[in-house]
A and B are shown apart, each in its own frame.
Chain A
Amino acid sequence: MIYYATQRFLLSLLIVIVAISLLTLMLHVVPGDPATMILGPRATPELIEKTRVAMGLDQPLPVQIVTFFGRILHGDLGTDVFTGRAVSDIVFEQLPYTLVLIAASILWSSILGIVLGCYSALRAGTWLDTLSGILSVGTISIPAFVMALYAVLIFAVSLGWLPAIGAGEGFFDEAIHLILPAFAIGISWVGYIARMVRASMLEVMGAPHVRMARSFGLTEARIVRAYILRIAVQPAVTLLGTGVAHLFSAAVFVEVIFARPGIGALIVSSVNERNYPIILGAVLVTTAIIVLATLLSDLIVALLDPRQREAL
């Protein structure tokens, strides 16, 4: 267990390091210059040069990467040259909004997806199954931004039930502001999860141990709950764990459309501005979270399945 944990931890660390190094590499071949983007046209060449030095962009690439990780060891993500604020402040100010958004989306979509998938599997081959299949697969395909847009137009603009923008203040208000964005992001995952759960349910339903449970006259409801579902949701959990990366991407769109604060919007705007310290800081944190989410999903699977626990 300890061995597994350290191994896993070191591996995650390595993944993050490789990912960030790849990113730095990529950023450096991408054209664009932060000084131009942020300082505006009136900046003098000397000032631009000063900014580049302040960002460490004059250093050779490997040095930059090493310095970056060296600083991280001291818990320092660097400073934004333009606002003079600590990158960690900037990132961690935005992060909670995205995390809450993603968590809410995962929560509602997995609950609904599992229920829908179960229902489909139990009624496999009927028209209801077909219908729920068309519905769930149909929702997979609608891009998050189209979903978000229609959600705003209908529920905020036309009906005026829910706020159109922002993140709100205070628990209740924030929850209300979360509804539409979480809906827009989650809806396609309902479909994914439903299809996944349906497929694995069907597989587990044909397993010998389920037949054995039936041979003892256990009620169907109990068999589904205690015997099938716990195994059948495992692929969906894994999917969600690896899907957090995609959720972060979807959050980008939704944060723009709902003018929500969040790390997705932060990344996009800092990429546009070529604000390297913020990009690196933000991507580092997101990557770490994504790696963590994968780890978490593995742990949940292990919790659900003692055989996986053995591997720990």
Chain B
Amino acid sequence: MGQAQATVSLPEPTVISRILRGLAGNRTGTIGFVLVVLILAAAIFASWISQYDPAAIMTGPRMAPPSSEHWLGTDNIGRDLFSRVLAGGRVAMLVAAASLGAALSLGLVLGLVAGLGPRWLDNLLLLLFDALRSFPTIVFGLAVVTLVGPSLFTVILVVAITSVPIYARIIRTQAQSLRNAEFVMAERAMGAGLPRILFVHVLPNVLGPLLILASMDVPLVIATEAGLSFLGMGVRPPTPSWGVILNDGYNFIRNSPWPVIAGSVPIVLVTLGFTFMGEALRDIFDPRLQKAN
């Protein structure tokens, strides 16, 4: 209390300046933040940066090594890898945003229902989450892909569905602890109804940590996409995605490692960026927030 009293006379920092200060004090956090900004910028400005249409075939020789015309070389049908990697970044970010967004919203609803709803519903949902989780992911992916047909949408669907149980579980735990939190009790004592408690008091408190967790799952999404692509079930060709680039290049890895390198380096960078940024944000906002099951 005294601590707080001692600081009241200073202006309180805004969230943004708190983030920036926190990042400044954290080396990996800074690295992550810079990487994420670069990746997002590259994805947004992809078409301005690259000179080639990522889908245009035979813009150069096949499987050419990096050169001044083709910064990362070309693929097996002579497409410019650099522009494909950039465009792939856009796809990756789209998939990540859409699937995590979907997983979050669905996880939020189910988690809140499980956490705040009646006991039997909680048990039922938990059972469902655990059952979903205990499939080998890839079997699930295979089934969905064969069902819906491979496309961007399918990848989004697979990632969304496999992540829902994870988010829902986290939200459930949070909701349960919030249900007994004193400020929720206080609101109830003042006569606040469930919708008000949910939307005004509970949601804002679970959303922040959840967004941080979600940002740390961006690499997971991309890895899932790459895995599906490896099994030939990624996005619809000729859409460039890093997984597709990897998968195409994988066949020629013996003599021409470029496509695989071009496909995997961005994945590594995204992972580094989002993981480090997420970890730093987590430390800044809540050091205790761990990705528990």
Give the interface of A toward B (CB within 8 A): 11, 14-16, 18-19, 22-23, 26-27, 29-32, 125, 127, 129-130, 133-134, 137-138, 140-146, 149-150, 153, 157, 195, 199-200, 203, 235, 238, 242, 245-246, 248-249, 252-253, 264, 267-268, 271, 279, 283, 286-287, 290-291, 294
Contact = CB atoms under 8 A, between A and B. Distances in A.
A146 B260 contact: yes
A261 B189 CA distance: 62
Contacts, number: 147
A267 B127 CA distance: 24
Interface range on chain B: under 10, 10 to 19, 20 to 34, or 35 or more?
A: 35 or more
Interface of B: 27-28, 31, 127-128, 130-140, 142-144, 146-147, 219, 222-223, 226-227, 230-231, 243, 246, 250, 253-254, 260, 264, 267-268, 270-272, 275-276, 279, 287-288, 290, 292-293
Contacts of B130: 11, 15, 291
B139 A30 contact: no
A149 B263 CA distance: 14
A138 B131 contact: no
Given A26-B144, A287-B135, 9 more contacts: A18-B127, A19-B131, A137-B276, A143-B264, A146-B250, A235-B292, A248-B136, A248-B138, A249-B227
Contacts of B222: 141
B275 A195 contact: yes
B147 A283 contact: no
A121 to B, nearest CB: 13
Contacts of A138: 268, 271-272
Given A246-B137, A253-B227, A141 B271 contact: yes
Contacts of A130: 27-28, 31
Contacts of B132: 19, 22
B272 A271 contact: no
Contacts of A125: 27
> What 10 pairs between A and B have smallest CB-CB spacing?
A141-B271, A249-B138, A18-B131, A248-B136, A19-B131, A26-B143, A290-B134, A249-B137, A30-B146, A143-B226
B147 A264 contact: no
Contacts of A140: 219, 271, 275
B267 A143 contact: yes
B134 A294 contact: yes
A123 to B, nearest CB: 12
Contacts of B219: 140-141
17 contacts: A15-B130, A18-B128, A19-B132, A22-B131, A22-B132, A26-B147, A31-B146, A138-B268, A138-B271, A140-B219, A143-B246, A143-B264, A145-B227, A150-B253, A235-B290, A238-B293, A246-B137
A15 B134 CA distance: 8
